[in-house]
Amino acid sequence: MSEQLIIREAVKGDAKLLLEFLKRVGKQSDFIEYDLENVSLTDEETSLDLISESGFDEIFVAVFDDAIVGFCRLEKVSEDESEYGVVVEKDFWNNNIASYLTEEALDWARHAPFTKIKLEVYKNNPVAIHLYEKFGFKTELEKDKTLIMKRMA
């Protein structure tokens, strides 16, 4: 048992573990919405390949003892903007994993071709809002249940 947390880019070989992780965390929180019902292993491998070749998109994973326990994604939404999301498995909450992932993603974004990063967060998720504010995200729009937050890349 390594008992060491590793933050790294997701690769094609992570597809199976990533799908398992996303299915697990989707049941752990009301703040996570994934529709993985029709996503095959091949689909996920192809997606990870395309993401790794993109200058706009990126996925980082947090790996502990050969299991994915967290992930974050930057996904192109326009020529100058990418959308950010981060998820950590419940058993690993309060260990700064979301901060480590966010730091890694923002470092990568400094060299990407977009200039803004946005996200949407539920208003009743103060832990996530605090995390995003800590990394310079500011609320730009308030919806009924969510906030749209942005920062420069």
Residue tagged 């697990």 (tokens): 24
Q: Which residues contact 32 (CB under 8 A, 6 or more apart)?
A: 25, 26, 87
Domain that holds residue 77: 5-112
* Listed residue (10, 2, 6, 93) closest to 47, CA to CA: 10
**Average pLDDT of the segment spanning 96-118:** 95
Tens of pLDDT, residues 31-83: 555 555 667 778 888 888 888 888 889 999 999 998 999 999 999 999 999 99
In a domain, 151, yes or no: no
Domain annotation covers residue 73:
yes
Q: Is the pLDDT of residue 1 over 50?
A: no
**Domains held by the chain: number:** 1
CA distance 100 to 102: 6
pLDDT digits (tens, 9 = 90+) for 108-138: 999 999 999 999 999 999 999 999 999 999 9
Per the DSSP assignment, residues forming a β-bridge with 130 are none
Does 96 fall in a domain?
yes
**Per-residue pLDDT averaged across 78-100, rounded?**
94
Name every residue whose Cβ is closer than 8 Å to that of residue 120 and which is 6 or more positions away in sequence.
Answer: 83, 146, 147, 148, 149
* Three-state DSSP state, 17: helix
* Residue at 99 is within a domain: yes
CB 121 within 8 A of CB 128: yes
